[in-house]
Structure formats: structure tokens, C-alpha cells
Amino acid sequence: MEYLLGRDWEISPAGGATGEAFIAKNDDQKLFLKRNSSPFLAVLSAEGIVPKLVWTKRLENGDVITAQHWLSSRELKPQEMNDENVAKLLWKIHQSHPLLNMLKRMGKAPLKPEALLKQLESSLNEDLGDEPIVVKSLDFLKRNVDAIQCEEHVVCHSDVNHNNWLLSDEQELYLIDWDGAMIADPAIDLGMLLYWYVPKEEWAAWLRMYGAELTPHLELRMKWYVICQTIISIQWHLEKDRIEESTRWLQSLEKMMD
């Protein structure tokens, strides 16, 4: 990696699960480097959704290295997810034709709820599948899979956790970590954000900032996808032996199904 920039640059791992991200420093200059980023990154940069892409270089072995400006920034706090700027940026993402066209060119097809349900059922741990609240939740998913059909398919981030929202020192807001991007019902992102961060009595007001109305159909769609995502999260934590976290997610599932 060093020979890409020269000897004056100090390169260190940036952390993360993949081990493919690095920080490069040279005096006051700082870059975020990533190996084999998706070509989607260039469109995200052009749309102003992630920090600016500085350059892309292809190595002799076929790897592609991307460099982005390193911004002095911080993650959003959970209570800041109720902010109008969050709603507006998510609306911009969901309405972006360049983002949608790029994912289609990359071979992505819309995620249908019946496919998601089938995938969930086929991968579910047997013991978890016997949990009463999971049985009840799966019954809800099956009964409502036809009722949540939606013709609107947009680019969804699919992990709008507050840790993935960056606010720069210049008050510029970005949404990072797009590895799970998909074409799907916007209710996937909306449900995750509202259920996790916004009191239910404020959902209608938040959605007005976003540019949508809280209808019974949207509310059902959000609940359906959040329940799906919650079961997936419970199983993921169980597989990692994170019993405390999986218990918290089970408790969340019980509240949703009340």
C-alpha cells in the first residue's frame, strides 16, 4: 500500500471487520483508503452522501484502492437521529436516480418480502425457531407478507445505525458503510430508524420532514421489516455467543409484538 503514495506517507489499519480499510497520513494531509470498494462509492461521493472520493487506482493484481478525504467528524448521538437533516439526507438517498441506476448496473434486483421471509426461515437456528416470541413473530410475518407489497423500490442503506452517520466540523452530514446497500422498499430504512431512535408519537412529524405521510400501510411495512431484522440480529448475536445482546433483542421483539 505504501508504494501507492510514497515514503512520506504513514499508513495504518483503520479497523473494521474486513481489515481492508486504512488511514494514510502525511503532515496535515489525511486520507481514508479502502481496498476493493464497490464502484458504488464513486456515485455516493458525487451525490455528496459520503466524504469526497479523491482518487481510484487499480493495482497489477487486480485490486482497486480508493482514497477519500479524511474529515474531522463525529458519529451522531442517538438523540440526534430525530434531526431534520437526517430525514432530508435519507429522503435524498431514497430519491436518487443515479444511485438506483448504479445498483441496477451492478446486477442488483429489488428485494421482495417473500424472498426475505424464505431466506429467514431457511437460515433460522432450530432452537431460536422454537422460542414462543419467535414463533409468534414468524406467524405475523407469514400472515402479512402479501399485505406489505409495495411498488416503490429505492436504494436502501439497510443499516442506518447512528454510528454510520457522520457530522463533520463544518456541519456536513454523511451516511457511510454502504456494504449492505440494496434495492428495496424504503420502509426497511425508515422502520429501523424510527423504531430505534424516534418516539412513536413523533413518527408522523419525522416523516413529514422526510417527505412522507404515516399511513397504516407504511406503518405495517415498517413493522414487518423491523421484526425480520430483529430476528436476524438475535440469531447473529447467538452465533457470536453474545448472549446478553441476543437477550436484549428478544426483549425488543416482545415489545414489538405486544
Domain boundaries, the chain: 2-70, 75-256
Q: Kindly report which listed range (59-63, 105-109, 179-183, 218-222) carries the lowest average pLDDT score.
A: 59-63
Fold of 75-256: Aminoglycoside 3'-phosphotransferase; Chain: A, domain 2 (3.90.1200)
User: What pLDDT is stored for residue 192 in this prediction?
Assistant: 97
Residue 249's pLDDT band, with cuts at 50, 70 and 90, is very high
Mean pLDDT, range 87-100, rounded to an integer: 98
- In whole angstroms, what is the distance from residue 202 CA to residue 70 CA? 34
DSSP SS3 for 114: helix
Single-letter amino acid, residue 127: D
Per-residue pLDDT tens over the stretch 15-44: 655 557 888 888 778 888 888 777 888 899
Is 90 exceeded by the pLDDT of residue 63?
Answer: no
Residue for grid cell 434531526:
83
Contact indicator for 30, 8 with CB cutoff of 8 Å: no
Measured over the CA atoms of residue 131, residue 137, residue 141 and residue 142, the dihedral's sign is: positive
pLDDT range class, residue 91, cuts 50, 70, 90: very high
- The phi, psi pair for 181, rounded to 5°, reads -60, 140
159 is catalytic: yes
Spatial distance between the Cα atoms of 221 and 187, rounded to a whole number of angstroms: 6
pLDDT computed for residue 61 by the predictor: 80
List 28, 139, 146, 159, catalytic entry: 159
pLDDT in tens, 144-163: 999 999 999 999 999 999 99
3-state helix, strand, coil in the chain (%, to 5): 50, 15, 35
pLDDT class of 55 with cuts at 50, 70, 90: confident
Q: What is the pLDDT of residue 66?
A: 87
Of the given ranges (7-16, 78-87, 115-124), which has the lowest mean pLDDT? 7-16
Cα angle 82, 88, 90; round to 5: 85
Other CB atoms within 10 A of residue 18 CB = 10
Q: How confident is the model at residue 8 (pLDDT cuts 50, 70, 90)?
A: confident
State the Cα–Cα distance between residues 119 and 113, nearest whole angstrom.
10
Confidence at residue 126, expressed as pLDDT on a 0 to 100 scale: 87
pLDDT per residue as tens digits for the range 94-114: 999 999 999 999 999 999 999
Q: Would you call 226 helix, strand, or coil by DSSP?
A: helix
Q: What's CA 171's distance to the chain center, in Å? A: 21
